[in-house]
Structure formats: structure tokens, C-alpha cells
Amino acid sequence: MTDASPQQPPQPPDQAELIRQAVAHLREEFAAVPPTGRAGEVWVERLAMPDGARLHTAIQLPDSPGPHPTIVMRTPYPHLRAMTEAYAEGLTERGFAVVWQACRGTGQSEGDWEPNVNERADGLALLAWLERQDFAQSIGYFGSSYLALTGWAMADAMPAKVKALYLSHYGTDRFTSAYCRGLFRHDVLTAWAMENAGFPVTADYLASCRYRPQVEVDQALWGGRLDWYRQWVSNPNRDDPYWTTGFWAELAAIPSRVTTPVCLVEGWFDHHLGSALQTWQALPEATRRRSRLRIGAWNHTFQPCVTGDDFASNETADALAWFDALLKGGPGAAGQAGRVEYYLVGAGRWQAAARFPLPTAGEAVFYLTAPDGVPAGAVGGLSGAVPTTTGQARFVYDPDDPVPTHGAESCLRSQTAQGSLAQAEPGRRSDVLSFVSAPLVEDLTVAGPIRIELNVSSTAEDTAFAVKLCEVTAGGLTRNLRTTVATLAYRDGQNRPVPYEPGQVVRVQLETWDIAWRLPRGSRLRLDVSSSDFPQYSAHTNTPGVWSLQTKAAPAHQTLHWGGDSPARLILPLAAVQSDKECPR
């Protein structure tokens, strides 16, 4: 067992309280944009889909003569109805008609609930109906998370009235949102499955994440079989047919055919960031020139989550400006298209860039070295000079006592663990090795994905290595920039696992999702190396094979090596000057 940690595993938040707070915050954001009229009465249509299932469809118009620019939303979340209705009221008070529909098998809609697969056909049926309605002058599609999926699922087949999409916190490469180098993203998909099973699930969340074999957790703890969850956890290879055929393959291909302008909104600490940035790159160049990419310092629910930064933003007002420009031809139309906006963490401001990925100009490389002059608790240093000596450090990884997630970018259920958070001092756990640099002699602005190359060995046939890169400010605050993981089976980022012989020293290539972060002179870098980050990622059992089928786990002795002909190193992409322009807002 490892030393006790002051950071306990994150606990699920009070969902009812979160919803209440979200509705109140939404009304505050709407209040920043003066209403232009009043909202009219709501009526409901039971729209028949091609197979006869009737879906609950609510319509609300402004209390003024039409036709109206119209906003469409499709949602599978009946427990969030208060938010949906608050959006509808706020939008209609500002001159938009609103049509929202409960997805098949949810709320008051007929049919069987099966995530994802019916959204294209059902959504296109709704839009075809709306095309024929006299009240709809032009149409914009609006949604975040699953509500954005319902837009992406048909974004390449929009009818003529659809003039704009505003889609946040979703990406069309589902594999990226499900796995990271062989490890499953529990806090995203296990959590979502428990909350959207189609029947009440009262099982303990963390006990569910720990259950072995994971493929049977649905019937063992949740109370019913979920074949779609079993497919998620049983296909850890990018080239598995589950990901390369059927719905997920079709969804990944859609962005390359999109012609409707889209405002793609993301957060540096949203669990869909990696997939969403791939989606942006897949858009045709002509479409990107008419679209926008916007990345803030928030999590999946738009909550600011960077410790030490005074970050605030009104995304409701931003969506209103986008739809006002593209559906009404408002005064800001000329400035809405072709923009890339992002929040530069550490600098405290929004930036504008001509394109994404952000332009870079070289790299800053730091090598793992011996512990000369490092703070107490650290086992080594980070130096810009290539080490002239070799060294190693060891720890024991116990899958039954994983390192708790604290500071992350791939969480959904564990809101309190998400974002850039204050970190404990080095040495709090014996299964976490910390490497700390000397104070930086000049400012560094990181722009893009961060790479880490480690030389490791293990007593296990397969295992994992996790890293967390932190900034240690001159004032002593330690906060995380990025985390990532890789198993030995997927150590080179390949699509299929490769074998590992215990005791062999191999090189593990790790890469984080993109980030834009200003590191001021006088701050330090700290790289934490361990073998777990739970429940952000599944805890590796230290045995080879498909993770969800494994029933047993055992501790592994891990060794980290530095120096030599191919030294372990941290590689930071540095921003080019042209990407560092303040964004006027």
C-alpha cells in the first residue's frame, strides 16, 4: 500500500442543486442581453417519425408577428427540462422562435431509448417538418454535449432554411473521447451510462468503476444489461470494427461534408476537447472560413476551473450574437466568421489566432535528471541540459489503491476533480514520482499538445504510466496544466497492442490534449509520474488483454530510467508571435 493521501476520491455532486444553480446562472447570462419582446405561449406537437414513433416536440414563438428566426434543440435529458425551458423563454424574449424535441424513448417521446443511433433520422424528420412551417423564417441548430451530438449527427444534410450551427462540448471522433492509449475514460462514459441507462441506477459510482470484470457491471450492480456500454468497454483498439463501421464511423466522417457555418465551442478542461479539435480540423477549409472556434478556461458545464485565474465569460450572450448575425443579419455578421478565439491561461485574457492548430515557433525541451537541488519530496529534476549521467527511481503500483484524480481534463461526474487545481506537495504518495525544474529564466507560452517521452520497465506483462504536468508559481501555488496516460501495450500510440516482456526497458510516448498557457519567468515546472489517475482513467490491473474482461489485479514494481542515449524528456510547443494577439471583446 502507498502512503496516505490527503486527496480523497471525488464524490458525485448533488445533481438537483447543480441544476438549480445552472438555471439561475443561465438567467443571469440572458439578463446581460436586453429582451426585444415577450415570449408567447408554448404548444406541443406529437411529431411522427418515419417508423411511426411520435416524439414530444415543444414550440414557443415570440409574442410578435412572424415569420421568425428559429432555434432548434433536441435533448435526451428530461431531468434538465428546467434548463431547456429557460433557454426557450430567454431566446423567444429576444426575437427567436424555439422548437425543442425530446429524443426517442426519453421524456414524453415514444420509442426505445438507445443512445446515438436514432438521432440522424429523427433529427432530419424534425427539420423536414420545420421546413414546411410558415413561422420558421430561418433556422439555427443549438446544443451542448449530447444536444450537440444531435446536431453533428445530421450536420452534412441540413435543409435550406438552416443557416447556422452553434455546437459546444462535443466531438465526432468518439474513440478519442472513450480511450487514451489503452485506458478507458471511466469518469466520462461509465458515469454517463449510469445516469442514462434508461432505468434508475442507484449503485455506488466508484464501486462501479472498480468492479471486475467491468463488462458485467451493468447486471451485477446496476440492475439491467446495457449492450451499448458493453461495446464501449470491450473495444479498446481504434481499428476495432465497432469504431470503424456503423454509427461511429459515419459520425466521424460527417464534418468533412459540412457546408453550414458552425460555431464550435470548447473548453480547455472539457472531456470532449480532443475529439472536438479533430472535428474542427475535419471541416472543409471553405466551411472553416465561415465558422468560428472558441475555447475557454471552463469544464463541460462552462464552469471556470483554473485556480489562480480570474476568468469569466457569457456563452449565452455569445450564442445570441452568433445567431443574431447569421439568422437575422445583425450588425456583427461581418466579424463572426473565420475567427479562432481562445483563453490564454496564466495571461488572464482571450487571444485571437488566424488558424488552429495554433501557430508554434520551436520547442522547449526539459530532461529528467538526478535530484540535485530539487524541493523536498521530489525524486529528480527537469533541466534544459542533456543529462550526462544515468539514473532511476522506483515505486510500487497497486491497482486496488490507485492515485485519486485531482486536477483533470477528462472528467464528467467528478466535477470537483475537474480543471486546474491546487496540488499537494511532492512526496505525499510513494507511488508518485515528482521532477521539478529550476525557476524559469524567461516567459514561456505553450500552445498545442505537450509530449512526454519516458524510459520505463515493470515486473508486469502490461501496465500503465500516468503523468501530470504542473506549474509551480513564484508564490508557491502548484496547479496542473495537463494529464495523460499510456499503457505499455499502446506505448507508441499504435492502433493495436504490442507485447511487453517484464524487466525490459522500453520507451513510452505520451501526448496531452492541446493547451494555451503562459508560464512566467520565475515559475517552475513539475512533472509527476505514476501509474494511475482514477477515476479519470480505469485503473490498470497489471495484466495483459482486454481490460474489461479481467477479473484479477496484482501490484507491479515500476522503474523509471533517465539519461543515456535516449534520455527521458518533456517537450513543450512554444507559441509563435502571431498567435499571441489579444482578442478584442
Q: What is the CATH number of the domain that holds 115?
A: 3.40.50.1820
The conformation of residue 214, written as its DSSP 8-state character, comes to: G
C-alpha cell at 213: 470484470
Answer for the pair 283, 291: CB distance below 8 angstroms, yes or no: yes
- Confidence at 83, pLDDT banded by 50, 70, 90: very high
Query: Does any domain span residue 247?
Result: no
- Confidence at 2, pLDDT banded by 50, 70, 90: very low
Query: Residue 373 has what pLDDT?
Result: 85
Q: What is the pTM of this model?
A: 0.94
> Average pLDDT for residues 6-31, to the nearest whole number?
76
C-alpha cell at 115: 443512445
Strands 478-487 vs 464-472: parallel, antiparallel or unpaired: antiparallel
Q: Positive or negative CA dihedral for 88, 91, 95, 101? A: negative
What is the rounded CA–CA span in Å between residue 445 and residue 448?
A: 10
Q: Positive or negative CA dihedral for 439, 444, 445, 446? A: negative
> Average pLDDT for residues 247-270, to the nearest whole number?
97
Residues 297 and 364 in one domain: no
Query: Does any domain span residue 537?
Result: yes
323 by DSSP, 3-state: which?
A: helix
- Confidence at 6, pLDDT banded by 50, 70, 90: very low
What is the rounded CA–CA span in Å between residue 560 and residue 465?
A: 10
Residues 374 and 286 in one domain: no
> Which residues fall within 8 angstroms of residue 266, CB to CB, at 6 or more apart?
168, 169, 272, 273, 276, 277, 293, 294, 295, 296
Residues 32 and 75 in one domain: yes
Question: Phi first, then psi: what are they for 432, rounded to 5°?
Answer: -130, 120
What CATH code is carried by the domain that includes residue 492?
2.60.120.260
Report the percentage of the chain scoring pLDDT > 90. Answer: 89
> Average pLDDT for residues 438-459, to the nearest whole number?
98
Query: Does any domain span residue 201?
Result: no
Answer for the pair 436, 373: CB distance below 8 angstroms, yes or no: no
Report the percentage of the chain scoring pLDDT > 70. Answer: 95
**Does residue 47 surpass a pLDDT of 50?**
yes
What is the rounded CA–CA span in Å between residue 489 and residue 506?
A: 11
C-alpha distances out from residue 285 to 61, 261, 355, Å = 35, 11, 11
Residues 434 and 489 in one domain: yes
Residues 506 and 367 in one domain: yes
Query: Residue 5 has what pLDDT?
Result: 38
Residues 339 and 375 in one domain: no
Q: What is the C-alpha end-to-end distance of the chain, expressed in Å?
A: 51
Least confident of 128-132, 328-332, 475-479, 482-486: 328-332
What is the rounded CA–CA span in Å between residue 209 and residue 346?
A: 34
**Does residue 206 surpass a pLDDT of 70?**
yes
What is the rounded CA–CA span in Å between residue 51 and residue 259?
A: 28
> Average pLDDT for residues 233-259, to the nearest whole number?
97
**Does residue 238 surpass a pLDDT of 50?**
yes
Residues 460 and 545 in one domain: yes
Query: Does any domain span residue 566?
Result: yes
Query: Does any domain span residue 74?
Result: yes
Query: Residue 240 has what pLDDT?
Result: 96
Answer for the pair 516, 268: CB distance below 8 angstroms, yes or no: yes
> Average pLDDT for residues 218-238, to the nearest whole number?
97
More confident residue, 202 or 22: 202
> Average pLDDT for residues 254-278, to the nearest whole number?
98
Answer for the pair 397, 558: CB distance below 8 angstroms, yes or no: yes
**Does residue 580 surpass a pLDDT of 60?**
no
Least confident of 120-129, 225-234, 310-319, 453-462: 310-319
Average of per-residue pLDDT values in the chain: 94
Query: Does any domain span residue 436?
Result: yes
Query: Does any domain span residue 206?
Result: no
C-alpha cell at 463: 501496465
Query: Does any domain span residue 213?
Result: no
**Does residue 10 surpass a pLDDT of 80?**
no
> Average pLDDT for residues 198-220, to the nearest whole number?
97
C-alpha cell at 444: 514561456
Q: What are 509-547's pLDDT values in tens digits?
A: 999 999 999 999 999 999 999 999 999 999 999 999 999
More confident residue, 541 or 15: 541
Residues 413 and 288 in one domain: no
C-alpha cell at 266: 470548447
**Does residue 4 surpass a pLDDT of 50?**
no
562 by DSSP, 3-state: which?
A: strand
C-alpha cell at 259: 457546408
Query: Residue 310 has what pLDDT?
Result: 80
What is the rounded CA–CA span in Å between residue 73 and residue 276?
A: 19
Residues 405 and 337 in one domain: no
Query: Residue 339 has what pLDDT?
Result: 87
Structural domain count, the chain: 2
What is the rounded CA–CA span in Å between residue 23 and residue 30?
A: 11
**Does residue 336 surpass a pLDDT of 80?**
no
Strands 391-397 vs 556-562: parallel, antiparallel or unpaired: antiparallel
Answer for the pair 485, 181: CB distance below 8 angstroms, yes or no: yes
Residues 293 and 412 in one domain: no
The conformation of residue 374, written as its DSSP 8-state character, comes to: P
Q: What are 415-425's pLDDT values in tens digits?
A: 889 999 999 99
Q: Which range marks the domain in which residue 481 is found?
A: 360-578
Residues 493 and 370 in one domain: yes
DSSP 7-50: -PPP----HHHHHHHHHHHHHHHHHTS---S-EEEEEEEEEEPT
Query: Residue 330 has what pLDDT?
Result: 72
Residues 294 and 389 in one domain: no
What is the rounded CA–CA span in Å between residue 192 and residue 183?
A: 17
- Confidence at 309, pLDDT banded by 50, 70, 90: confident
Q: Left if phi > 0, otherwise alpha if psi is -120 to 50, otherwise beta: which for 152?
A: alpha
